[in-house]
Structure 1
Amino acid sequence: MTTRGFTTRQLHERATGATPTARATPIYLTAGFEFDEYDNAAAHFGAGEGYAYTRIGNPTVETVEHTLAALEGGSQALLLASGQAATSVALLALLEAGQHIVSSTHIYEGTRGLFRDNLSRLGIATTFVDDIDDPDAWEAAIRPETRALFAESISNAANRLIDIAAIAEVAHRHGIPLVVDNTFATPYLVRPIEHGADVVVHSASKFLAGHGSVLGGAIVDSGRFDPARDGHLFPHLIEPGRGGAASIADRVGGDARIAYARESVAPRFGPTPSPLNAFLIGQGIETLSLRVERQSANALAVAQWLEGRPEIAAVDYVGLIGHPHHALAEHLLPDGYGSVFSFTVRGGSDAARRLVESLEVFTHMTHLGDVRSLVLHPASTSHVTLSADERAAVGVFEGTLRVSIGIEDVADLTADLARALAVASPVDVAVVA
C-alpha cells in the first residue's frame, strides 16, 4: 500500500472491524455520515433512508425520541434543542399567517411572549382563556381560523390544571388539535395523549434530563391525525408535494403532523439538538420515575409544612386539599402532584428578598425539575414584564416565590426554610401584615 502523508494519515487512519454492542446509547457526535455506496446518497435524499446529516437525523437522537414516544403513549417523538424550540416547531407545523391559537392564561411566560410578540408578527393571533376550568369558555374563544388549543398540564406558576379530556373534546368538535405542555407533570405523572390530547411538548432540560446540565425539548404526537375529517383545515398536510410527489398524509397517514414538523419545520428553522445533549437526556430519562416520585413526595411535605406557617400568606400547590384543582388532581395525578409550586410570604418583595438571600440548601436560579431544590422570585424575574394585574391573574404577587423541590432529605429543606423565614418574615410582623 502506498504510504500516505502525515496529514492524510491523521485524518483517515482508523480501525476497521465489527462494531461493538454498547449497553448505553452510543453518542454519534458527528455532523454528517458517510454513504457506503454511491446510490445510498440518492436513497437518502429520495426516500429518507439511512443517515446523512445530524440536522436531519441522528441515531443517538432517534433512540431518545423512541423512548419518549413510548413513555408518553404517542406514535412518534421529535427531539429539539430546547423546550421553546419544541413549542415553536409544534405550532409552526400547524399554523400559518391569518390563523389563530386559543391558549390558557396560565402558561410559562416565555410561551406567552412567543404568542404575543413573535407569532403575532407572523400574522398568528392568540386568545387567552382565563376561566380554564370551563369548557364553554374555551369553545367561545374558538374562531373559524383557529388551528390549535394550547395549555399546560400543571401550570407555571400557580399549579392550575385543565381537564384534558374535556378540553380535548372541545378541540375535536372543531377538528383542531389540543397541544399540551407536559413539562411539569412528566409522563410519569400524567400522559395527556391518554386523555385525548393530540400533541405533547416538553422542555427536556427540566425533569427529563433532571440534572440541570443540558438544554433540550421534545414534541410527541398521538398519531391520530385524520386526513379525511380534518385535512381541509391543514391543507399543507394533504396537498401533493413539489413535482406531484405524494402528500405527507398519503405517505404517513396519522403521523402527518409530526412528519411535517420533522421534515419541513425543524430542519429548516434549525433547532437541532446536540447528540451529546440527547445522550444526557436519555440517561436522565432512565431514572425519571424514581426522581419524580421522590420530588413529588418531598414537595407535598414541604407544601404542607409551609401551609401551617404564620409567615406564609398562601401556598399554591395542587396537592393541598384547599387548592381549587385538588379534586381534579386526584383524578389526573394519582402517582404524585408534581414538585414545582409557588407560595407567598407575608411582607411582600422585601420579605421575599430576605428569604431568598437567607436560604442555604435551596439554589437561587431560573430553572426547575433539577435534582436540587431551586427558588425564584417571579415578580422580579420571569413575570417582570407583566402588569401587577396580569401577575395577580396568574397568582404572582410581590411576596410570591416559586420553588422546584429536589430529592434532598425533606427535613433539611424545611429546616432551611424555617431559618430563612425567621429572618425574612418574623412571626410578629407576619401576624399584623
Structure 2
Amino acid sequence: MPDRNPGFSTLAVHAGAQPDPATGARVTPIYQTTAYVFNDADHAAALFGLKQFGNIYTRIMNPTQAVLEERVAALEGGTAALAVASGHAAQMLVFHTIMQPGDNFVAAKKLYGGSINQFGHAFKSFGWQVRWADTADPESFEAEIDDRTRAIFIESLANPGGTFVDIAAIAEVARKHGLPLIVDNTMATPYLLRPLEHGADIVVHSATKFLGGHGNSMGGIIVDGGTFDWSKSGNYPALSAPRTEYGGVVLHQAFGNFAFAIACRVLGLRDLGPAIAPMNAFLILTGIETLPLRMQRHCDNALKVATWLKQHPKVAWVSYAGLGTDPNHALQQRYSPKGAGAVFTFGVKGGYAAGKALVEGLQLFSHLANIGDTRSLVIHPASTTHAQLTEAQQIAAGAGPDVVRLSIGIEDAADIIADLEQSLAKV
C-alpha cells in the first residue's frame, strides 16, 4: 500500500501473501511436498551453504509456512519468524539456540502447566536448569541471575489465571544483565499487546490457540525482535561463533537483526526436526485472517461472563483483569486497553470437589485441555493440566484445588452464562 502503513486487520489478511505465481490462486496454496527441485548444482550448493535463500526440504521450510511466518512477524512487529510443530517445539528451539549444558534461565512461576513441566523436567536432559521467580516482584528475577544465566522467560498474559505481567519492568532487569527477554504471547496475541514494544527480544506462540482459533491445527511460532546483541557477551556461541557446518559463517554477522530466527531454523529445526505440517500452516493462516474480530468478541464475552460470576453466591472469587476491582486491572489498562483476553479463572465454594462438579455439569462448554477455540472451553487444572505439580506448586501457578479455568468462546454471551447458571445450580 503506497504511502501508508497497513493497519492490524489489513495485515492479518494480507501480510506475507501474494497470488500464487503459477496459478493465480488468491488464497495461499497448501504446498504438500517434501522437497524442491534445484535449478542446477550451483543453486543447490548456494542454498545448502546459506548463501542464497530458497526451499530445500519441508522439514526446514515450506512456501505455505513462509507466508505464515511473515504474517505473524508483521503482526508482532518482529524482523522474522519461524513456524514449527507446536508451542512446546517453539520453546525447545529457542532454548536450544541459546543454551549450553550447565546454563540456566529464569522463568515466571505463573506459567502454563505444560511449560512448567517442560522446563522443570524435560529440559534437564539437555543439562539446562530453570530458576523460578515471581512476576509481581521483578527483583526476584534479578536474585536468580548468575554468570550461567542465559535468558528470562515470562508469559505476557499468564495461563491459567489471566493475569497481566509488567513486561517493561522485567525487560529492564534483562537489559541490566545483558539477557534476552523471551515472552510467550499466546493468550494475549498481538491484537491485544505486542511484547516487543515493551522490551521483549523474542516472542513465542502456541499457534494452536488463538492464532489458529478453531481448535483444528497444531503449530508454534518464534518471532525474532531483532533487538538483542548476540555477539556482545560471547555467551551465545550458536550465533556469535563460526559454524563449521556452514563453512565458518558467523550467523549474527551474516544475518544481523534476524539472525536468531535463522539460527533456530538452520541449527535447531534442521537437526531436531519439529516441522509444522503444510496443512496446519494453511489452517492457522486462515484463522489469523479473523483474529482481530474473534479476539474482540472473546474479550467482550469474557467480561460479561466474569461480571456475572463475580456476583454469584456460589462463586468464592473471580480472577479477571478486565474487572475494575481486580488487582491486575491497572496493568491490563496499561498493556491491553482493548480487552483482558478470553481466559480466566474463578473458584467455586466447596473447593476441589465443587470445581470438578461444576465442570461435569456444563453442557455448552467443552471439557478439554485447550484454550483459544471459537467454542467456550472449561477445565479443572488441579486434576488435569497441573496435576503433575504439588498442591503448593499448583497454588503458586494460579491453579489451586478450587480453581476452574474458562476459555470464553464467541457464542452469544447469554447462552454461555445460562450454561454456567444451570451447572452452578446443581453444585
**TM-score bracket, shorter-length normalisation:** over 0.9
Deviation (angstroms), 1:171? 0.3
Give yes or no for the alignment of 1:390 onto 2:393.
yes
2: CA distance, partners of 1:280 / 1:246: 36
Q: Find the counterpart in structure 1 of residue 250 from structure 2.
A: 247
For residue 121 of structure 2, give the secondary structure of its aligned residue in structure 1: helix
Which protein is bigger by CA-based radius of gyration?
1
Q: What is the one-letter code of the residue matched to 1:33?
A: Y
Deviations 1:303-332 (A, max 9, x none): 010000010011111112232211111100
1: CA distance, partners of 2:150 / 2:399: 30
Q: Check the 8 A contact 2:166/2:331 in 1, yes or no.
A: yes
Q: Find the counterpart in structure 2 of residue 73 from structure 1.
A: 77
Q: Check the 8 A contact 1:298/1:410 in 2, yes or no.
A: yes
Deviation (angstroms), 1:36? 3.3
Q: What is the one-letter code of the residue matched to 2:146?
A: R
Percent identity reads: 46
2: CA distance, partners of 1:349 / 1:164: 32
Q: Find the counterpart in structure 2 of residue 315 from structure 1.
A: 318
Moved more, 91-100 or 370-379: 91-100
Q: Find the counterpart in structure 2 of residue 117 from structure 1.
A: 121
Aligned with residue 137 of structure 1, among 112, 123, 140? 140
2: CA distance, partners of 1:154 / 1:228: 30
Deviations 1:91-125 (A, max 9, x none): 11111111111010000111111111121232211
Deviations 1:224-271 (A, max 9, x none): 2224534x1212211122175221111012222222111101121000
Q: Check the 8 A contact 1:238/1:247 in 2, yes or no.
A: yes
1: CA distance, partners of 2:349 / 2:426: 12
Which runs of no fewer than 5 residues in structure 2 stay unpaired? Answer: 1-20
For residue 314 of structure 1, give the secondary structure of its aligned residue in structure 2: strand
Equivalent residue runs for 1:177-192 within 5 Å: 177-192=180-195
Deviations 1:322-378 (A, max 9, x none): 322111111001111000011111112322232222211111111110000000011
Deviation (angstroms), 1:48? 4.0
Give yes or no for the alignment of 1:96 onto 2:100.
yes
Give yes or no for the alignment of 1:37 onto 2:40.
yes
Equivalent residue runs for 1:210-221 within 5 Å: 210-221=213-224
Q: Check the 8 A contact 1:293/1:335 in 2, yes or no.
A: yes
Give yes or no for the alignment of 1:238 onto 2:240.
yes
Deviation (angstroms), 1:393? 1.9
Aligned with residue 82 of structure 1, among 86, 100, 104? 86
Runs of 4+ more than 4 Å apart: none
Q: What is the one-letter code of the residue matched to 1:224?
A: T
Deviation (angstroms), 1:87? 0.9
Deviation (angstroms), 1:277? 0.5
Equivalent residue runs for 1:48-59 within 5 Å: 48-59=52-63
Q: Check the 8 A contact 1:223/1:255 in 2, yes or no.
A: yes
Deviations 1:179-227 (A, max 9, x none): 0000000000010001110000000000000000010000001012224
Task: Give the structure-1-normalised TM-score.
Answer: 0.91
Deviation (angstroms), 1:273? 0.3
For residue 406 of structure 2, give the secondary structure of its aligned residue in structure 1: strand
Q: What is the one-letter code of the residue matched to 2:92?
A: S
Aligned with residue 19 of structure 1, among 18, 22, 32? 22
2: CA distance, partners of 1:84 / 1:350: 31
Q: What is the one-letter code of the residue matched to 2:239?
A: L
Moved more, 415-424 or 383-392: 383-392
Moved more, 194-203 or 110-119: 110-119
Moved more, 355-364 or 173-182: 355-364
Q: Check the 8 A contact 1:225/1:257 in 2, yes or no.
A: no
2: CA distance, partners of 1:165 / 1:342: 25
Give yes or no for the alignment of 1:127 onto 2:131.
yes
For residue 213 of structure 2, give the secondary structure of its aligned residue in structure 1: coil
2: CA distance, partners of 1:79 / 1:50: 16
Q: Check the 8 A contact 2:47/2:53 in 1, yes or no.
A: yes
1: CA distance, partners of 2:356 / 2:123: 35
For residue 186 of structure 2, give the secondary structure of its aligned residue in structure 1: coil
1: CA distance, partners of 2:44 / 2:119: 39
2: CA distance, partners of 1:397 / 1:133: 18
Task: Give the structure-2-normalised TM-score.
Answer: 0.92
2: CA distance, partners of 1:36 / 1:255: 27
Q: What is the one-letter code of the residue matched to 1:61?
A: Q
Aligned with residue 205 of structure 2, among 197, 202, 205? 202
For residue 139 of structure 1, give the secondary structure of its aligned residue in structure 2: helix
Which runs of no fewer than 5 residues in structure 1 stay unpaired? Answer: 1-17, 425-433
For residue 179 of structure 1, give the secondary structure of its aligned residue in structure 2: strand
2: CA distance, partners of 1:103 / 1:404: 24
How many equivalent residue pairs? 405
For residue 132 of structure 2, give the secondary structure of its aligned residue in structure 1: strand
Deviation (angstroms), 1:77? 0.5
Q: What is the one-letter code of the residue matched to 1:237?
A: L
